[in-house]
Structure 1
């Protein structure tokens, strides 16, 4: 029997005798439990953990995910939030030992005073004068443990979660970089675990008076957890192939924290924007398909000037509404059909409006099957404004902006209403052909330097996912120059208390593929970010504002701006062709540095 367990120094750091501090924090009660309940007679580590849990009548269960997501062997790091301060370490360690026998926990060195836990815990000193030097050795021990192919559990916060008024919940303080550093060094897999729950309101109220009062309360919080069930949510294991994209330990730490908190019950709540996508009875029946023969006649009437490019049986055309009335009718039908399948659409029998009358229609035609594959709507902004004013632009129905915004864009084309038919969505070839069509169109009209228009995030995504995407896009792909010049007609509501991320965490991530991983882990069908959004970001699109379109099943429209001169030469040639790209660049020589950074002459 070890009577030195839970022993403080005779005179503590505060200068107050050990006996007084011990009484305040509750050490005698804890020591009595250890000595009198025969815990000290249990020698095997896992038996001891289970005895502790049994003593407090505490159970644990996996609410979501699976222990099997943790590799059975090889270097592995498990990170978790720290809601209670002690008992979650006992419960989670017991849980992990059911998967692997080679588990160690980086934890408070006071717990290492318990003989049965010495083999399980690697102690860190949270309060001593020489803790920095001592902890270097502990972290090196932990690093070596993982290097040798074992599993390490870390609570990166290093201290218990505290209540934050802005979030209306208890969350961890800033995470330390230790877990990220160890994982990167060993190229270890990393599994995030979220632990539901929080300490008592009294605990958090004390912390608002002074943080050290929380610390004094921790043992009492352990003792009041009797009869509870610890609830663990295991996330997708993150391998080195994914996190090597991140530039530093700090950035990886932010990413791990995001992946941990997205597992929480609040983050997982499947709240979706209101729409009618699940109520097909409210949708009009789609119009009948256009006659193939009449569409063929439309195509036959077009000149070679209307053809932008051809690849096999697929041809990209661009024409006005009066030139291809039957094809346009089919485009309107296919728009609505395609949009409905992703939770968007007008709900009408056909998606055509007054803007279609004077916008150009770039469409992909399969000459073998005689069908429309996909389409874009293109508006030459200068000509539209000359004839209809700024109200003649479709985007002006979604966003409020003035001539100053358009002046900053220079000569520009408005894009929108893009789609690719579902049976052509298995590969990106159809979308890429449409983009090549846009590139060839711009090369033929080289005075148009900028593309802009709405890109949709459907209401099939949850509210939290849409807020996460919007915040990430503004943080990493926004425009400080253009943002003040645009206001959404119907802004996206973003309540801080409903989010689990900090903007600086998103800004440091800076990789659209990592955002897509986060999104796929939040969505029940594991889908990532929309394909078209990804395409705009590949060509350095800037997200200016976000608007909820109530007339389009509450789709979230991001106003994206693409400067064609900002695209790297190889990508520009891919879409415009070498000669087209060279001619386009020659038309804009000397203008690159000015664009989107100052007011300039434009072609309105």
Structure 2
């Protein structure tokens, strides 16, 4: 029986959204494009949350994922200890360009060893005691990162060029709001229609250059893979990350693909990033989620200068 696909809700009245984007929820103006970063949640900005849910479903569905429901809002968006929503707002267009959701893990963990940690990643990855003790108290989990279709570079080259960059300006705000923050972690999504051998090579590449040597997290729904490991080893033999990335880029382009933009950004963010393997997400169109953790102190200096220092120096 075919899965029922619901019609996505109509856009939310812009005046209702603008009333909720108040000064106390303002983070910063973006470095490029003159857009604005806001942090809201479902309780203080219910209309904006509905528009986020609409745009998330529109964005993910157009890429081959999504919930197939009329709106992408779940219990993590609406619970008492809910995720916060970081959005990029265009005052010129009166549109939400993109966003992500996040939660300060220190607020949701306890000393109970058997506790189910109420965050999205807990459904797909099992965390080691080391990760729970040494990382989670100083971490923010990021998820549901999206740029709406109207601002994709392929659709709107002028404005789409800055969309992902604006989101990184938003993440810089979190380093100020949460002074004890040491780690970003979460999932990077790939879609089932991505060329299979290119996907396998990309994930092999992540395991080679960004391994999780301490076994901090393991996939609960591991991706079924069957590939020629010797072929991939030979392609990357004696190559550092920079040289290996050129090989990866060439390989996926020969198969009609690109390295997914968010994956590309994370790989060039920090040399100490760790990847946790890949899980299939049955609740979101069968997309493939690769877990990662980034140590903020190890982010490349040029990235800090571009995104973080401008807000620290204000």
So what's the TM-score if we normalise by structure 2?
Answer: 0.86
Q: Which residue of 1 aligns with 2:99?
A: 375
Which residue matches 1:434?
167
- Structure number with bigger Rg: 1
Q: Is residue 416 from structure 1 mapped to residue 154 from structure 2 by the alignment?
A: no
Given candidates 212, 219, 224, the residue that maps to 1:493 is: 224
Cα gap change, 1:513 to 1:324, in 2 (>3 Å): farther
In 2, distance between residues paired with 1:297 and 1:501? 57
**Counterpart position of 1:396:** 122
Describe the shift of the 1:507–1:413 C-alpha distance in structure 2 as closer, same or farther (beyond 3 A).
farther
Contact map agreement 1:440 1:577 (CA 8 A) in 2? no
User: How many angstroms apart in 1 are the aligned matches of 2:111 and 2:67?
Assistant: 27
| Residue of structure 1 in register with 2:29 after alignment | 310
**Are 2:236 and 2:247, in contact at CA under 8 Å, matched by a contact in 1?**
no
Which residue, 13, 16, 24 being the options, matches 1:291?
13
In 2, the alpha carbon distance for the partners of 1:323 and 1:544 equals: 34
2:163 aligned with 1:444, yes or no?
A: no
Instruction: Give distance in 1, aligned partners of 2:288 and 2:59.
Output: 17
Alpha carbons 1:373, 1:421 under 8 Å: kept = yes
CA gap 1:504/1:480 in 2 versus in 1, 3 angstroms: farther
Alpha-carbon offset, residue 506 of structure 1: 3.2
Which whole-Å CA distance do the structure 1 matches of 2:165 and 2:122 have between them?
A: 27
Alpha-carbon shift at residue 579 of structure 1 (Å): 6.1
Query: Which residue pairs with 1:196 in the alignment?
Result: none
Structure with larger RCO (C-alpha < 8 A, sep 6+): 2
Between the aligned partners of 2:179 and 2:151, the Cα distance in structure 1 is: 30
Alpha carbons 1:464, 1:499 under 8 Å: kept: no
1:320 aligns with 2:41: yes
> Aligned equivalents of 1:374 and 1:514: distance in 2?
31
Count of aligned pairs: 295
Match of residue 344, structure 1, among 65, 68, 91: 65
Query: Is the CA contact 2:194–2:257 (under 8 Å) kept in the aligned structure 1?
Result: no
The match for 1:560 among 292, 295, 299 is: 292
Equivalent of 1:534 in 264, 288, 306: 264
1:500, 1:347 → 2: CA distance?
39
Q: Distance in 2 between matches of 1:406 and 1:365?
A: 34
Q: Which stretch shifts more, 499-508 or 288-297?
A: 499-508
Query: 1:331 pairs with 52, 61, 65, which one?
Result: 52
Gaps of 5+ in 1: 1-275, 584-604
Distance 2:76 2:163 in 1: 24
Preserved CA contact (<8 Å) 2:41 2:49: no
Structure with greater helix percent: 1
Query: 1:329: how far off?
Result: 0.6
1:313 Cα deviation after fit: 4.3
1:351-386 Cα deviation digits (max 9, x unpaired): 111111211110011122221110110110010225
Contact 1:440–1:575 (CA under 8 A) maintained in structure 2: no
The alignment status of 1:573 with 2:297, answered yes or no, reads no
Task: Please show how residues 71-90 of structure 1 align to structure 2 within 5 Å.
Answer: none
Whether the 8 Å CA contact 1:298–1:324 is kept in 2: the answer is: yes
**Inter-CA distance 444–506: structure 2 relative to 1 (3 Å threshold):** same
Question: Cα deviation per residue 1:135-170 (whole Å; 9 max; x = unaligned)?
Answer: xxxxxxxxxxxxxxxxxxxxxxxxxxxxxxxxxxxx
Structure 1 counterpart SS, 2:39: strand
User: What's the CA shift string for 1:169-193, capped at 9, x where partnerless?
Assistant: xxxxxxxxxxxxxxxxxxxxxxxxx
**SS of residue in 2 equivalent to 1:451:** strand
Give a deviation string over 1:19-76, Cα, whole Å, max 9, x none.
xxxxxxxxxxxxxxxxxxxxxxxxxxxxxxxxxxxxxxxxxxxxxxxxxxxxxxxxxx
C-alpha distance in structure 2 between counterparts of 1:554 and 1:323, whole Å? 32
Map of 1:384 onto structure 2? 108
Equivalent runs, 1:31-430 vs 2, <5 Å: 282-299=4-21, 302-303=22-23, 305-311=24-30, 313-357=34-78, 358-386=82-110, 389-409=115-135, 411-426=138-153, 427-430=160-163
Q: CA RMSD in A?
A: 2.4
Distance apart, 1:289 and its partner CA = 1.4
Say whether the 8 Å CA contact 1:564–1:572 is kept in structure 2. no
